[in-house]
Structure 1
Amino acid sequence: MSMNRREFMQLLAVASASGFALDSKQALAGNIPSNFYELPKFGNVSVMHFTDCHAQLLPIYFREPNVNIGVGASVGKPPHLVGENLLKHYGFKPNTPESHAFTYLNFEQASKTYGKVGGFAHLASLVKNIRAQRPGALLLDGGDTWQGSATSLWTNGQDMVDACKLLGVNVMTGHWEFTFGADRVKHIVDNDFKGNLDFVAQNIKTNDFGDQVFKPYVMKHMNGVPVAIIGQAFPYTPIANPRYLVPDWSFGIQDDNMQKVVDEARSKGAQVVIVLSHNGMDVDLKMASRVTGIDAIMGGHTHDGIPAPSIIKNAKGQTLVTNAGSNGKFLGVLDFDVRGGKVQGYKYKLLPVFSNLIEPDKAMESLIKKVRAPYEAKLNEKLAITEDTLYRRGNFNGTFDQLILDAMMEVKGADLAFSPGFRWGTSLLAGDTITMERLMDQTAITYPTSTLNEMTGENVKAIMEDVCDNLFNPDPYYQQGGDMVRVGGLQYTCNPNQKIGSRISNMMLNGKPLSPTKTYLVAGWAPVGEVKGEPIWDVVATYLRDKKVIKPRKLNLPKLVGMDKNPGIA
Structure 2
Amino acid sequence: MPLSRREFLSVLAAAAAAGFPLDREASAAQARSLYDVPRYGNVHLLHMTDCHAQLLPVYFREPSVNLGLGAAEGQLPHVVGAPLLKRLGLRPGSREAHAFTSLDFERLARRYGKVGGFAHLATLVQRLKASRPGALLLDGGDTWQGSATALWTQGQDMVEAAKLLGVDVMTGHWEFTYGMERVSQLVERELAGHIDFIAQNVKTADFGDPVFKPFVMKQVNGVDVAIIGQAFPYTPIANPRWLMPDWTFGIQEAELQRLVQQVREQGAQAVVLLSHNGMDVDLKLASRVSGIDVILGGHTHDGMPVPVTVRHEGGQTLVTNAGSNGKFLGVLDLDVRGKRVAGVRYRLLPVFADLLPADTRMATYIDKLREPYAAKLAQPLAVTEGLLWRRGNFNGSFDQLILDAMMDVRGAEIAFSPGFRWGTTLLPGETITREHLMDQTAITYPWCTLTEMSGEAIKTVLEDVADNLFNPDPYYQQGGDMVRVGGLTYTCDPRAAAGRRILDMRLAGTPIEAGKKYKVAGWAPVSEAARDSGPPIWEVVESWLAQHKTVAPRQLNQPRLLGVDGNPGLA
Deviations 1:427-450, CA, capped at 9 Å, x for gaps: 000000000000000000000000
- Mapped to 2, the partners of 1:17 and 1:161 lie a distance apart of 28
- What corresponds to 1:16 in structure 2? 10
- What letter corresponds to residue 221 of structure 1 in structure 2? Q
Deviation, 1:12, is 9.3
Residue aligned with 2:237, SS = helix
Aligned-pair CA distance for 1:26: 2.1
Aligned residue in 2 for 1:56? 54
Separation of aligned partners in 1, 2:54 and 2:79: 26
* Contact 1:416/1:489 (8 A) holds in 2: yes
Aligned counterparts, 1:471-486, within 5 A? 471-486=469-484
Local SS of the residue matching 2:63: coil
Partners of 2:21 and 2:160 lie apart in 1 by 34
For residue 418 of structure 1, give the secondary structure of its aligned residue in structure 2.
Answer: strand
Distance 1:190 1:19, change over 3 A: farther
Describe the shift of the 1:33–1:360 C-alpha distance in structure 2 as closer, same or farther (beyond 3 A).
closer
Which residue identity does 2:538 align to in structure 1? Answer: W
Question: Is the 1:26–1:113 contact (alpha carbons within 8 Å) kept by the matching residues of 2?
Answer: no
| CA–CA distance in structure 1, aligned partners of residues 247 and 42 of structure 2 | 38
Q: Aligned to 2:257, which of 250, 256, 259?
A: 259
**Cα offset for 1:35?**
1.2
After TM superposition, list the pairs within 5 Å mapping 1:512-531 onto structure 2: 512-530=510-528, 531=531
SS at match of 1:28: coil
Alpha-carbon deviations, 1:236-280, whole Å to 9, x = none? 000000000000111001111110111111100000100000000
Match of 2:443, SS state, is coil
Moved more, 318-327 or 35-44: 35-44
The answer on 1:26 being equivalent to 2:22 is yes
1:453 correspondence with 2:423: no
Contact 1:390–1:399 under 8 Å retained in 2 = yes
| Deviation, structure 1 residue 36 | 1.4
- Structure 1 segments unaligned to the other structure (5+ residues): 1-10
Q: CA deviation at 1:15?
A: 1.1
Q: Displacement, 1:336?
A: 0.4
CA distance in 2, matches of 1:548, 1:441: 19
Shift of 1:18: 8.7
Kindly indicate whether the alpha-carbon contact (under 8 Å) linking 1:20 and 1:357 is maintained by their aligned counterparts in 2: no
Residue equivalent to 2:388: 390
1:327-476 aligned within 5 A = 327-476=325-474
Q: Deviations over 1:71-101 (max 9, x none)?
A: 1211110010110111111221111111000
TM norm structure 2: 0.96
Structure 2 gap segments, 5+ residues each? none
Distance 1:27 1:125 in 2: 20
Cα pair distance change 1:544/1:60, threshold 3 Å: same
Deviation at 1:27, TM superposition (A): 4.0
Amino acid aligned to 2:526: V
Cα-to-partner distance string for 1:342-400 (whole Å, 9 max, x where unaligned): 11101000000000110111111011011111101110000000000000101011000
> What secondary structure sits across from 1:567 in the alignment?
coil
Amino acid at match of 1:553: R
Q: Is the 8 A contact 1:418 1:523 kept in 2?
A: yes
TM-score (norm 1): 0.97
Q: Which residue of 1 aligns with 2:272?
A: 274
- In 2, the alpha carbon distance for the partners of 1:504 and 1:319 equals 36
Deviations 1:129-168 (A, max 9, x none): 0000011100000000000000000001000000000001
Q: Structure 1 residues 34, 362: CA separation in 2 closer, same or farther (over 3 Å shift)?
A: closer
* Kept after mapping to 2: 8 A contact 1:216/1:230: yes
In structure 1, how many angstroms separate the alpha carbons of the residues matched to 2:94 and 2:254? 44
| Structure 1 Cα separation of the partners of residues 78 and 66 of structure 2 | 5
Secondary structure of the 2:513 match is coil
* SS across alignment from 1:492: strand
Once the two structures are TM-superposed, the CA of residue 16 in structure 1 deviates from its matched residue by 2.3
Question: Residue 556 of structure 2 aligns to which amino acid in structure 1?
Answer: L
Match of 1:138 among 132, 136, 139: 136
Q: Does 1:246 align with 2:244?
A: yes
Q: Distance in 2 between matches of 1:18 and 1:294?
A: 39
Q: Indicate the RMSD between aligned Cα atoms, in angstroms.
A: 1.4
Quote the Cα distance in structure 2 between the aligned partners of 1:128 and 1:30. 20
Cα distance change, pair 397–26 in 1 and its aligned pair in 2 (3 A):
same
Distance 1:548 1:101 in 2: 31
Contact 2:45–2:331 (Cα < 8 Å) also in 1 = yes
Task: Report the counterpart of residue 6 of structure 1 in structure 2.
Answer: none
Contact kept, 8 Å, 2:12 with 2:357, in 1: the verdict is no
Paired residue secondary structure (2:46): strand
Aligned length: 560
Whether the aligned pair in 2 keeps the contact of 1:55 and 1:149 (CA below 8 Å) is: yes
Which of 208, 220, 223 is matched with 2:218 structurally?
220
Superposed CA offset, 1:516-552 (max 9, x none): 0000000000000122120000000000011000001
2 CA distance for matches of 1:14 and 1:129?
Answer: 7
2:146/2:423 contact within 8 Å kept: yes
Whether the 8 Å contact between 1:27 and 1:357 is mirrored in structure 2 is: no
Q: 261-270 or 87-96: which moved more?
A: 87-96
Instruction: Identify if the C-alpha distance between structure 1 residues 17 and 315 changes in structure 2 by more than 3 Å, giving closer, same or farther.
Output: same
